[in-house]
Structure 1
Amino acid sequence: MQRRQFIRSAGTGLTAVGTSLLVGAPVPIGRRRQTKSDASTEIREMTQVFRRLDNRYGGGHSRSIVASYLRSSVAPLLQGAHQTGQSRSELFAAAAELHQLAGWMSYDTGQHADGHAHLRQALRLCHEADNDALASEMLAGMSHQAAFNGAPDSAVDLSLAAQHSAKRSGSKLLQAEAAVMEAHGLAMQGDKLGCLAALNRAEQAFNRADMEERPAWLAYFDHAYLAAKFAHAFRDLGLPREAEPFARRSLEMTDGYERGRLFNSALLASILADQRRIEEACALGSEATALARSVRSMRGTSYLQDLGKRLEPYQGVAIVGTLFEGMIEIGISPVG
């Protein structure tokens, strides 16, 4: 997609923020003798398989398998890694990527303490591997979790730490990610000017990034993902009209991210509900509810419950009642 310049958002005093955004499993490690280079390659291959399952079916699908694999296969390798050198760094970085995925799976299933523990372990492994890029990704993930759990101060602090690591790594894409995490935390704090400044930095960094050089663990971070974060920030600033075009852009995502499509459909529905566009909100809410039937994600449930709260004043309207019935049918309580 051709990247375009910012345009001004009329009527709100918001200028020049975000418009260019609107445009088979390998064999697990066995007992045979192998080098650390072999081990890091296999761990990454397994991580890729688990990551695809996670994106498509949610964290509840494979979380226990990943945890078992970490304990039985990866932990013994790390305990025996005493020498220094590139192969050791690669092994620790590969293990960090898998701990990161385990952390997101735990987070996705509502196991927040486990998720935090996995990301902390991943961060320690990044430091052992002397990998600033991965460390930035872990800190950005922690910031994301803090925002989701309603802790904006921690979200901002962690995003700033992520930005420091991202700058050391030289990655513009990671700088964009860290800046947009900061923007979301600032929006939750009600800091409009700070949020807009962070969004501006995020987009500038993103537009200078080389998307072809993304590592596998950052493949999810694209125009659609960044647009979703912009939409969250504007919505949490109480600006649903400004949030809407970004939420719509967030749905222009690649295949294989059904959980993300669930999140972003519910996000757009909530933004439309805030504008009292009830029929449109319910139509998107129904799409998100249908996705939730096959995606095992507590975050997905939370997104739909949030939509339910925003539609609660209109629950006497027939179309809202129908949506709520669909939510209840899959075990989600839309109100109360």
Structure 2
Amino acid sequence: MGRQPKQPNTQLAELLAETGLPNKALARRVVERGRAVGVELRYDHTSVGRWLAGEQPNPPGPELVAECLTEVAGRRVTSAECGMTGGGEAADLGLEFSLSLAEATASATALWRSDVERRRFLVGASYAVAVYPAASMRWLTLPGPEHPVSAGFRRIGQSDVDAVRTMTTAFRDLDNRVGGGKVRSTVVHYLHSSVAPLLRGSYNERVGRQLFATTAELTKLAGWAAYDLEEHGLAQRYLIQALRMSRAAGDAGLGAEILAAMSHQATYVGRPGDAVDLARAAQIAARNAGLPALESECLMVEAHGHAARQDESACATSLNAAQRAYSRSDSGRPEWLDYFDEAYLSAKTAHCFRDLGDLPRAARYAEQSLDMSDGYLRGRAFNLCLLASAVADADPHEAVRIGGEALELAAGLESRRSYSYLREVRFRLAPYDQLADVGEFRRRVLAATKGTD
């Protein structure tokens, strides 16, 4: 039997006639809506013409078309009413801080499932500008406390929570030692196959709070690993879901830590204003948690945001406040904050001075940052690159020596951020390329990082 010809999409045609929306305008709206949630599309008026002729856009196209027509028509329009096969996950999956606990659980588990399935709209999703400010506002204004209880079939107890906590500790250690690329898929599979069934089980509020807290930690780690791979749109989705779960757990400290991670990423992708706002929201949560060391960390990421904005005065104010908060810190910090020590404080300070153009002070603090605990191999690679970048003008030969150490460490990591740090050193050494050791080092970095942009 021959192939059946496509049938014209009369439902879509009727909607376009009803709204008066030209093909070109619909295509533009769909592209813009996709971009707002980190999905890059290339639709134009000819694409809409093909849809009208009966062609089906790939997911999440049908959902985006329906959302755009909903906005223009002033009533709810589904993908089926557009004559399109929908039913897939929404393009903004994981980007919303859910209002209810049931929605939060459904959103997080759907994200894990879609990630395991490597759904196309998640692969290569770009950074969505507006979602972090919206999530932080929900975090600050959502009434509470919440009561995470469930009456599912399987009984969940303390041993189940402890098992997730043990796995989270192991994954966190691996992430620091080998980079996000070597652990991310394993973490996501564990969330999908082992943690999701726990969330759907039966537990009381005491167990539920612990379960949501440790799940938030692991979800945050999955987001951090995606960030380390520079999969920024995916990282956002995980960090927002982690923030929502920390809210369900009633854990203000963990919420502050996740907001600080969002701030860290916002500075990295060139959104320093958002980074400052996120850091300030994190400080509110840290103070509520009564953790001075955590407040110090949140002040440090605010300082970095100010430095990226070239606001030297505001940066100095935040750095001084961070030092004062750190001096008040005690030993009662949670395990997930163990990394925040004098070396980390020095590294963040060095970042600030580097971005402000004060390379001598950046070098001094970068040197101090190398006095760090064992096991943080990725962090050491970053700090070596930071020091090499800071001394490149003063002593390019020393920069090559230090950069060489970082290059050796990076070879054992799967971390795109480490490649970015190495490219920064290479850039700083460009004026001295005629020196034999500099030229050789720059060629080695180019070979190691080629194809990782």
Tell me whether the two structures share a fold, i.e. TM-score over 0.5: yes
Pairwise CA distance, 1:84: 5.0
What do residues 34-67 of structure 1 show as CA deviations (whole Å, max 9, x unaligned)?
A: 5332221111100111111111000111111101
Give 2:198's aligned residue: 77
Taking the aligned partners of 1:89 and 1:113, their CA distance within structure 2 comes to 28
> What is the alpha-carbon distance in structure 2 between the residues aligned to residue 80 and residue 123 of structure 1?
21
- CA–CA distance in 2 between the matches of 1:34 and 1:246? 51
Q: Secondary structure at the match of 2:188?
A: helix
Code of the residue aligned with 1:224 in structure 2: it is A
Q: Could you tell me which amino acid in structure 1 is paired with residue 234 of structure 2?
A: D
Q: Are 1:231 and 2:322 matched, yes or no?
A: no
Match of 1:36 in 2: 157
Matches of 2:383 and 2:157 in 1, distance apart? 39
Residue aligning to 1:66: 187
Alignment of 1:243-322 (within 5 A): 243-273=362-392, 275-322=393-440
Equivalent-residue separation in structure 2 for 1:213 and 1:168 (angstroms): 15
What is residue 95 of structure 1 aligned with on the other side? 215
CA contact (8 A) 1:286 1:326 kept: no
What secondary structure does 2:353 align onto? Answer: helix
The answer to whether residue 148 in structure 2 is matched with residue 148 in structure 1 is no
In 2, Cα distance between the equivalents of 1:214 and 1:236? 30
**How many Å separate the matches in 2 of 1:331 and 1:281?**
18
Q: What is the rounded CA distance, in whole Å, between the counterparts of 2:236 and 2:409 in structure 1?
A: 27
Partners of 2:307 and 2:447 lie apart in 1 by 34
Q: Give the count of matched residue pairs.
A: 301
Q: For residue 256 of structure 2, what is the amino acid of its counterpart?
A: S
Match of 2:167 in 1: 46
For 1:231, give the aligned amino acid: A
Which letter maps to 1:257? Y
Higher normalized contact order (CA 8 Å, seq sep 6+, divided by chain length):
1
Q: Is the 8 A contact 1:187 1:236 kept in 2?
A: yes
Whether the 8 Å contact between 1:227 and 1:249 is mirrored in structure 2 is yes
8 Å CA contact 2:291, 2:333 repeated in 1? no
User: What is the alpha-carbon root mean square deviation over aligned residues?
Assistant: 1.7
The residue correspondences of 1:88-167 to structure 2 (distance < 5 A) are 88-167=208-287
Distance 1:96 1:60 in 2: 20
Structure 2 residue aligned with 1:220, among 326, 333, 339? 339
Aligned counterparts of 2:200 and 2:245: Cα–Cα separation in 1? 12
Give the unaligned 5+ runs of structure 1: 1-31
Partner residue in 2 for 1:203: 323
Whether the 8 Å CA contact 2:156–2:198 is kept in 1: the answer is no
Q: Is the partner of 1:158 in helix, strand or coil?
A: helix
TM-score (norm 2): 0.64
Aligned to 2:135: none
Partner residue in 1 for 2:66: none
Unaligned runs of 5+ in 2: 1-152
Q: Find the residue that maps to 1:330 and give its secondary structure.
A: helix
**TM score, norm. by length of structure 1:** 0.86
How far, CA to CA, are the matches of 1:187 and 1:227 in structure 2? 15
After TM superposition, give the deviation of residue 276 of structure 1 in Å: 3.2
- Please tell me the residue identity of whatever aligns with 2:269: N
